[in-house]
Amino acid sequence: MKVLLIAPNIDAADVGEAFVAYKWAQSLSAHAELTVLAFQRAGRPELEQQLPDARVVTWPEPAWARKHERLNAMLKPAWPVFAKCVRKFVRRALCDGERFDIAHQLMPQAARYTSPLRHFNMPYIIGPLGGALDTPAAFRKEAGSAPLFTRLRALDQMRLKYDPWLRGSYSGAACILGVAPYMREVLSDVPLRRFESMLELGIEEVSIAGTRMPASGTMRVLHVGRGVRTKGLRDTVRAMAELKDLPKVTLTSAGGGEEIEICRAEAERLGVSDRVTFLGRISREKVEQLYACHDLFCFPSFREPAGGVLYEAMRHGLPVITADRGGPAWIIDETCGLRVPVTTPENFAKEISQRLRQMALDPEERCRLGRGARTKVAREGLWSVKAFGLIDLYKSTLAAQMGEGFSPFG
C-alpha cells in the first residue's frame, strides 16, 4: 500500500507533536510503502536518516517561525508555507504519473488547519485531532487568565461553522480521527463521512511486572504533569486533606510550573505537607522510577484532550484515578481505574478523596485494576499495535471508497 503522510514537524529528537509524528512514521514505515512530507528544522538530525525505511521529502522550516517557540507550537504560523509545498509536490507527482492509495494529514493536532489534501482527487484521512476542551466554568476563577493566543482558540468553533475551506477539509476527508470520542461533538457542525477515535500517543513496551506489597491503609500516590491548574494537582492535594485518618497514604508530585508553589502552600494550609512531596521537574529516567515504586496514579486533569501520561503509568501496572472528561474518560474504564465527575472544585476534591480512600482500604481491588491497566495498554497502546490498527483503518477506508465489502488489499 502506497501511503502519503504529511506533518509539518517530525523529529525523534524533539518533544510533543514532532516526536509523536516520528513514532507514527517509524511504525507505519514497517508496514506500508510510505512517503513522508515534512519541514526540516535547522540544526536537527536529517529526517531522511531518522526514517530509513521511508521515502522522505523535506523543505527548510522558515527561520522566522522558530523565533517564538511557544507561539510556534500553539499556532503553527508556518502552516500555509508547508501546505503550499505539499500542494506543489502532490501536483507534480500526479502529473508524473505517481499515485498514492491514501494520504494522511497526521499533524497538526488542533482542529483549525485547512488541509492541502482537499485539492486532490484521492482519499485522505486527517487526525488524530484533539484539543478544543475548555476550562469548566466553576474552575475558571482558579485557573486565571490565559495568554491571548490561547484565547484565540474560541474562534475555532466559529470557523467550524462558517469557514468553507476548513469545513471542506473535514467534510471531504474519507475519515476524521479524533483523540477521543468527545471530538465528534466538537466537529458536529461539519458533515463528516466517517469518524473514529484513536489516541495519538503510544508506548514502546509494557514494563516487567514489579512486586507490590498491598496493605490496607497504606498507599503511595503519584501525580506527574506540568504545574498548571488544569492538571488537577491542586485538587489532589485538597483530597489528601480529607484522608488525615490514613497517615500512610502519601502523595508524590513530579513536574515543574507556576502551580507547584501554589500547591505547596495549599498543602501547608491544609496540614498535609508532611505527606506530600514536590520533586519539581525531574528527568525521564527518574519519572520511570517513580512509576515503578508507587501504588496508584492520580491524574484528575479536567481539560485533558488525550492523556498519554496515563499510558505511561498503566504500562507499569498502576491503577488510575482521573477526571471523567476528555481523553482520560475514554482511556480509563472499570478494568483499570476510577473516573471522577467534574463539577466544582470543592466537590471534585471530595470525590477524588473518596476514590483514594476506596483504593487505600481495598488493596486487592487496587491490584486487580493495576493488572487491568497493564493488560489494556498492552492491547491498545503499543506502537506496533497502533500501526497495525491504522493500516487496517486505511484498508477499510479504501474498501468503503471502492464499494462496500471490497478491498483491493484483501
Provide the percentage of residues in the chain whose pLDDT is more than 70. Answer: 93
Q: Which of 28-32, 207-211, 239-243, 320-324 has the lowest mean pLDDT?
A: 207-211
Kindly indicate the confidence band of residue 152, based on its pLDDT and cuts at 50, 70 and 90: low
Average pLDDT over residues 21-46: 96
330-380 pLDDT, tens digit per residue, is: 999 999 999 999 999 999 999 999 999 999 999 999 999 999 999 999 999
Kindly indicate the confidence band of residue 307, based on its pLDDT and cuts at 50, 70 and 90: confident
Strands (E), 142-268: 175-178, 195-197, 219-224, 249-254
Q: Domain 219-380: give its CATH architecture.
A: 3-Layer(aba) Sandwich (3.40)
2-202+382-402 is a CATH 3.40.50.10420 domain: no
> What pLDDT shows up at residue 406?
41
Cell of 375: 493488560
Could you tell me the sign of the dihedral formed by the alpha carbons of 307, 311, 313, 318, in that order? positive
Average pLDDT over residues 272-296: 96
> What pLDDT shows up at residue 410?
35
Please, where in the chain does CATH 3.40.50.2000 lie? 2-202+382-402, 219-380
> Residue 277 pLDDT > 70, yes or no?
yes
Query: Which one is predicted more confidently, 148 or 69?
Result: 69
> What pLDDT shows up at residue 370?
96
> Residue 397 pLDDT > 70, yes or no?
yes
> What pLDDT shows up at residue 256?
96
Kindly indicate the confidence band of residue 79, based on its pLDDT and cuts at 50, 70 and 90: very high
Q: What is the dihedral of CA 257, 250, 285, 7, to 10 degrees?
A: -50
Average pLDDT over residues 381-403: 93
Can you tell me the distance from the alpha carbon of 205 to that of 203, in angstroms, rounded to the nearest whole number?
A: 6
> What pLDDT shows up at residue 16?
87
Kindly indicate the confidence band of residue 76, based on its pLDDT and cuts at 50, 70 and 90: confident
Can you tell me the distance from the alpha carbon of 24 to that of 7, in angstroms, rounded to the nearest whole number?
A: 11
> What pLDDT shows up at residue 72?
63
Order of strands across the sheet that contains 175-178: 55-60, 33-40, 2-6, 102-105, 124-129, 175-178, 195-197
> What pLDDT shows up at residue 157?
87
> What pLDDT shows up at residue 146?
57
Query: Which one is predicted more confidently, 290 or 66?
Result: 290
Q: Which residues pair with 54 in a beta bridge?
A: none
> What pLDDT shows up at residue 210?
63
